[in-house]
Structure 1
Amino acid sequence: MDFAYKHIVVALDGSDASDAAFKKSLDIAKRNDSQLILTHIVDSRTFATAEAYDKTLSERAERYANDLLNGYSKKARAAGVENLAHCIEYGSPKVKIAKDVAAAYEADLIICGATGLNAVERFLIGSVSESITRYANCDVLVVR
């Protein structure tokens, strides 16, 4: 059976684990001649109440997301992956990646790191990677 991944969503948050996921996604994208969708979800739940005190919080979060994805785009192009897309969404990464982003790009593979930046949330209600594997309608690769 000849099966190739054509639309790969890679979840990026700036953590070491997401960096490892990105590196793995480069190999898979090159091998399959795939589109690589670089995705960052701004977890707006974390700053919804704080923004009442600091109006620039969402602007800084969006600037961080753009800088993050632009940096990964440069690395991907340097590694020989040209078919790239950027996706910045707002909301819960657990929901957005598995349901919204994957569906919007017709993803057949989601790649994410085993752990991300939010250790407190992982301890209290479970990890983003666990949620993605549970709710995604496509294959999921969790990179350690």
Structure 2
Amino acid sequence: MTQQYQHILVPVDGSKEAELAFKKAVAVALRNGADTELQLLHVVDTRAFQNVSSFDSSMVEQVTKTAKQTLDQYVDYAKKQGLTNVSYTIEYGAPKTLISREVPEKMHADLIMIGATGLNAVERILIGSVTEYVTRMAICDVLVVRTDLDNQPTSFKKH
């Protein structure tokens, strides 16, 4: 029996890794049938703004505007590939818990497709990888995308 995923969640952050995960998710959704839902998620990490002494809402508004532009392009791409049930949401808060638990529960996700991290070793030690956290704590299956569309190692991997 092959697994038929019906609700695929793809966290995107503007990185090449996230874009690759998105494109592979489109292909998986198409293989799983026309009624498969592809939900894109961008999380604005509000903790990043807490230490800014001159914080104002225009900073968050600009980040949100940029995210919407990218997400609109992704939705257009998915629809041109033949998906009809594709949408996105922008959430505000801690990416780890939103991606691994809260959003998947809300949308009844049965698969999270996420790009491998681009963080360097020091950042991973200090703050931990979102991808690593999601693979441990998610409430559904997780597929970490590490290769390009031809399943070859990506050229943007950090060594």
TM-score by length of 2: 0.83
The alpha-carbon distance between structure 1 residues 51 and 42, as it changes in their structure 2 partners (threshold 3 A), is farther
Tell me which amino acid in the other structure corresponds to 1:14.
Answer: G
Give, as a single letter, the amino acid of the residue that structure 2 aligns with 1:7: H
**Residue 125 of structure 1: CA displacement?**
2.5
Q: Counterpart amino acid of 2:23?
A: K
Out of 42-51 and 65-74, give the one that drifted further.
42-51
Q: CA deviation at 1:22?
A: 0.6
The gaps in structure 1 that reach 5 residues or longer are none
Structure showing greater relative contact order (alpha-carbon pairs closer than 8 Å, 6 or more residues apart)? 1
> Which amino acid in structure 1 is aligned with residue 106 of structure 2?
A
Cα deviation, 1:67-125, whole Å, max 9, x if unaligned, reads 12111101111111110121110111111011111111000000000014x54643422
Distance in structure 1 (CA, Å) of the matches to 2:46 and 2:11:
16
1:10-39 deviation digits (Å, cap 9, x = unpaired): 010010100110111011100112100011
Aligned 8 A contact 2:49 2:55 in 1: no
Give the conservation status (yes or no) of the 8 Å contact 1:51–1:58. no
Corresponding residue for residue 30 of structure 2: 30
| Match among 28, 40, 43 for residue 41 of structure 1 | 43
Are the aligned partners of 1:37 and 1:86 in contact in 2 as well (CA < 8 Å)?
yes
Tell me if structure 2 keeps the 8 A contact 1:51–1:57.
Answer: no
Structure 2 gaps of 5+ residues are: 147-159
The answer for the alignment partner of 1:114 in structure 2 is: 116
Normalising by structure 1, report the TM-score: 0.91
Report what 1:127 is aligned to: 129
Contact 1:8/1:107 (CA < 8 Å) preserved in 2?
yes
Task: Write out per-residue CA displacement over residues 18-69 of structure 1, whole angstroms, 9 at most, x where no aligned residue.
Answer: 0110111011100112100011000111012326344410111111121121
Cα distance in 2 between the residues matched to 1:85 and 1:97: 16
Which aligned pairs between 1:81-92 and structure 2 lie closer than 5 A? 81-92=83-94
Q: Residue 74 of structure 1: which of 73, 76, 90 is its match?
A: 76
Is the Cα–Cα contact under 8 Å of residues 35 and 83 in structure 1 kept in the other structure?
yes
